[in-house]
């Protein structure tokens, strides 16, 4: 007969954290939210860690390049959605990697004999107003000058003039030589009141550009998630069909970590995908897998070689997998069960594999609950879809602004690869809906508030790190009556305009 679990599965809203002792040291400013993204051996550190325990979902309506940049500034990571062409996804990844760096390879270059019309077209294409002028118009040609939007006025040129007539020539440039440190570059920028510092080699060939705005940005975003070359860290979603073509393109574009995007990860297809990646590229290429909801699923993907494992089936706000297929598990119970399996695997093998709670998070405090229950980080879709940086339209409905939000299993996305079971190349039925979410403004403003809530709750539990929270947390199931008691009740609530609701 079928196997029956002894207890019903529960959601996050059915739990509360019970406060623990907090000392004078337990203040939000002292809380550290760093957490591993990929697996590591006992006594070592993960090769990639997050500064905040938040990643954005692998969805068309969530994780584009703007989201990836905004979230990396805060210390998290986005996984650029894979339900698009390989070329398009790789280009998104490349634009994120090239957006911010201490030393930037110039992607806006032109010859001195080019016309101003050609320059204007280049600026419109790249969006960069600072252009390096090299002898051959490439990013590694001999530097002969620089030209910026301050060097010309569109209203005063015909467009047929040559770039060399407007550029600042090499003899008037301030530049550094290859090998200079970033600190030395920033000192030169400030001492000479520059916006851009070109870096050249011994043959005067352009190597990099260093920008003042990058220095200022780093001061504004001290938790930026950067690689060894001071570029934003970015992930990308892959599927179990075209990975042999998609993965090389994504790695060539600079992708830092991959994640198999699938509604259910306990499958031969995921094992085959992970095996091919590891055999082809070795352990340096990191790939997450999932989703699973129990120990068996975790152990399977751990043995397959996954670098992190996502937990959750059917709990997303736009997901109807449970309705259409009857598959899934309450998210809180799934996280608790998989976290226990993760810890047992670590004790047995000495390999710690981070787990990610994906789905079922409605309120900010659910994130803290997920962390306390054993998640190393959480993946969020609806949460991030509300922000300005989400790659969707902002629409006005009944006097209020909303953002469009649709599931990967909806008729709109038609991401059949995510639900692939080896059948026809199409979405047989929907497992997601098309919807709207209230527009919430910029990511920075909202994430800051969410993180402060998490830190405050951790302090109430006597914890200053996520690992300490997991060790000290006391959790209690609550009754349906207790859930009602937890909100405003037995009062008439006023809105912001002091009118009665």
Q: Whole-angstrom Cα distance, residue 72 to residue 392?
A: 19
Catalytic-residue membership of 319 = yes
Instruction: Out of 185, 319, 356, 461, pick the active-site residue.
Output: 319
Distance from the Cα of residue 355 to its chain's centroid = 16
Q: Whole-angstrom Cα distance, residue 230 to residue 215?
A: 11
Distances in whole angstroms, Cα of residue 392 to Cα of each of 57, 66, 125: 14, 11, 22
Instruction: Out of 231, 246, 386, 418, pick the active-site residue.
Output: 418
User: Which of 18, 10, 54 shows the shortest CA–CA distance to 469?
Assistant: 18
DSSP H stretches of helix in 442-500: 443-460, 466-472, 480-485
Write out the H or E segment, with its range, that includes residue 196: strand 196-200
Q: Are 235 and 258 in contact (CB under 8 A)?
A: yes
Distances in whole angstroms, Cα of residue 355 to Cα of each of 289, 306, 378: 10, 10, 8
Strands (E), 218-267: 235-238, 257-260
Q: Whole-angstrom Cα distance, residue 188 to residue 175?
A: 9
Q: Whole-angstrom Cα distance, residue 34 to residue 451?
A: 12
The angle at the Cα of 293, spanning 289 to 295, to the nearest 5 degrees, equals: 90
User: Which of 243, 246, 254 shows the shortest CA–CA distance to 101?
Assistant: 254
Residues known to be catalytic: 319, 418
């Amino acid at each position: 007969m079928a196997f029956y679990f002894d207890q019903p599965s529960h959601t996050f809203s059915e739990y509360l954290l019970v406060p623990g002792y907090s000392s004078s040291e337990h203040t939000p400013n002292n809380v550290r939210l760093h957490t591993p993204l990929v697996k590591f051996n006992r006594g070592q550190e993960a090769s990639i860690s997050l500064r905040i325990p938040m990643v954005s979902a692998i969805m068309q309506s969530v994780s584009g390049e703007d989201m990836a940049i905004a979230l990396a500034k805060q210390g998290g990571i986005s996984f650029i959605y894979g339900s698009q062409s390989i070329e398009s996804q790789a280009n998104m990844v490349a634009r994120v990697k090239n957006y911010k760096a201490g030393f930037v390879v110039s992607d806006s270059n032109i010859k001195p004999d080019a016309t101003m019309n050609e320059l204007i077209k280049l600026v419109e294409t790249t969006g960069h107003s600072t252009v390096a002028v090299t002898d051959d118009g490439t990013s590694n040609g001999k530097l002969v000058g620089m030209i910026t939007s301050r060097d010309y006025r569109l209203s005063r040129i015909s467009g047929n003039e040559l770039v060399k007539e407007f550029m600042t020539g090499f003899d008037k440039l301030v530049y550094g030589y290859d090998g200079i440190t970033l600190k030395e570059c920033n000192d030169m920028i400030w001492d000479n009141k520059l916006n851009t510092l070109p870096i050249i080699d011994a043959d005067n060939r352009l190597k990099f550009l260093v920008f003042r705005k990058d220095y200022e940005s780093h001061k504004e975003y001290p938790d930026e998630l950067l690689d060894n070359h001071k570029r934003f860290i970015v992930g990308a979603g892959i599927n179990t069909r075209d990975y042999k073509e998609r993965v090389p393109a994504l790695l060539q574009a600079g992708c830092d970590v991959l994640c198999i995007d699938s509604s259910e990860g306990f499958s031969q297809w995921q094992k085959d995908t992970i095996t091919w990646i590891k055999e082809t590229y070795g352990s340096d290429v990191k790939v997450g897998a999932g989703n699973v909801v129990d120990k068996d699923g975790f152990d399977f993907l751990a043995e397959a070689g996954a670098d992190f494992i996502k937990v959750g089936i059917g709990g997303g706000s736009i997901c109807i997998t449970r309705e259409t297929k009857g598959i899934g598990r309450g998210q809180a119970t799934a996280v608790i069960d998989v976290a226990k399996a993760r810890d047992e695997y670590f004790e047995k093998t000495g390999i710690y594999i981070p787990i990610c709670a994906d789905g079922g998070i409605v309120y900010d405090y659910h994130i803290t609950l997920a962390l306390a229950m054993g998640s190393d980080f959480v993946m969020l879709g609806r949460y991030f879809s509300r922000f300005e940086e989400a790659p969707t339209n902002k629409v006005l409905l009944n006097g209020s602004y909303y953002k469009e939000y649709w599931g990967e299993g909806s008729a709109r996305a038609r991401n059949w690869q995510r639900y692939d079971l080896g059948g026809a190349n199409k979405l047989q039925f929907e497992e997601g809906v098309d919807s709207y979410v209230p527009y919430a403004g910029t990511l920075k403003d909202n994430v800051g508030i969410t993180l402060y809530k998490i830190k405050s709750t951790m302090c109430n539990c006597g914890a200053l790190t996520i690992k300490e929270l997991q060790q000290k947390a006391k959790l209690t199931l609550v009754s349906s009556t207790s859930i009602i008691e937890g909100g405003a009740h037995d009062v008439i609530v006023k809105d912001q305009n002091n009118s009665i609701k």
